[in-house]
Amino acid sequence: MEIGQVCLKIAGRDSNQKCVIIKILDETFVLIDGQTRRKRCNILHLEPLKDKLDIKEDAAHGEIVAAFRKLGVEVTERRPREKKEKPKKVRKEKVRAEAKEKPKSVKSKAKAEKKAEKAKVEEKPKAKAVEVPKPERDEEKAEKPAKYADAGKKPKKAKKPGREDS
């Protein structure tokens, strides 16, 4: 395989499409372009054809399309998708400001006044926290008797009969 060799892609999404080798990357991978996407490809996924194009290493896509047209192979042009304008979001601050500008009805004003009055009435002074002294313990009662002879260590479990250590 060499640069300019026309191949047929036999594996993957671009299978059964013609391509040309533009660059040899290493023993197993080459860079291809043509009817396929311009990408790195394993040489095991390519079947070489008898045709060869006269192109330079790392040739542009336009040069490759022109060379394929001379050979009689149609290459479809890929166009990027056109970007659509996204609708702009209105910030909440602006919406709130617009709402404040609107004149309030008589009922809503009365409700707001009632809420303000209730808030004033419901405010009550809070009670102060009082410290309660804890009862003192006798030191004799606080000490617990030792359960085990080794002062806090658990005794070893007895070995099961019929079992031997190895």
Q: What is the CATH number of the domain that holds 27?
A: 2.30.30.30
Q: What is the mean pLDDT of the chain?
A: 77
108, part of any domain: no
Residue 134 lies in a domain: no
Pairing relationship of beta strands 29-34 and 39-42 according to DSSP bridges: antiparallel
Confidence of residue 119 (pLDDT cuts 50, 70, 90): confident
pLDDT of residue 141: 52
- Of 4, 76, 5, 16, the C-alpha closest to 45 is 16
pLDDT over 60 at 142, yes or no = no
Task: For residue 37, tell me if it sits in a domain.
Answer: yes
Structure tokens at 80: 């990027």
Q: What number is the average pLDDT over the span 51-61?
A: 88
Query: How far, in Å, CA of 23 to CA of 91, rounded?
Result: 52
pLDDT value of residue 121: 64
Q: What is the pLDDT of residue 83?
A: 84
Residues present in the chain in total: 166
Identity at 47, one-letter amino acid code: E
